[in-house]
Amino acid sequence: MRGVVTAVSRSGGHTFGKPVQAGITLVAGVGVDGDAHSGVTVKHRSRVRRDPTQPNLRQVHLIHGELHDELRAAGFDVAAGQLGENVTTRGVDLLGLPTGTLLHLGDTAVVELTGLRNPCQQIDAFRRGMLKAVLGRDEEGNVVRRAGVMSIVLTGGEVQVDDPIAVQLPDAPHRPLEPV
């Protein structure tokens, strides 16, 4: 499976959306250089309140651009970076990948998928009704989260628009992504 980076974003403050950039720098073990969520330990405010010493499994947030397409088709005005993602992709089924998948972004950067983003009420504050579009239930009643995936940086490097994405699956047995 190969894909492409369609946008990169970062924000130095704890904002819901992140401004699109020409490029971002990923730092091994830390995250996106200059982003409020980068660090070895958790930076997400609710997680910091619970235990600020937890490892940061949410260093880089990725969303598939196909989700933006679906949301726009459903009547929601949304663009890259507005849901808080650092990397917007196309051509990779991010939600279908197992925990531990490596994504090679561009020439050198490598991130490891740690889990799913757990959509929160901030999505409805951004666009009323959007939370239901990214959080639902399957036919068996299981919760389905579609607001992207989280990862840690294994190998740093520059990432920019049109960079290729190569997917490297972990050894079997595969574990599905769960919220982190």
Report pLDDT for 101.
98
Report pLDDT for 98.
98
Backbone angles phi, psi at 95, to 5 degrees: -70, -20
126-155 pLDDT, tens digit per residue, is 999 999 999 999 999 999 999 999 999 999
Residue range 2-168 forms a domain whose CATH class is mainly beta
Confidence of residue 1 (pLDDT cuts 50, 70, 90): low
- Where are the chain's structural domains? 2-168
pLDDT > 90: percent of the chain: 94
> Cα separation of 88 and 86, whole Å?
7
Mean pLDDT of 40-51: 89
The number of CA neighbours under 13 Å toward the Cβ of 96 is 6
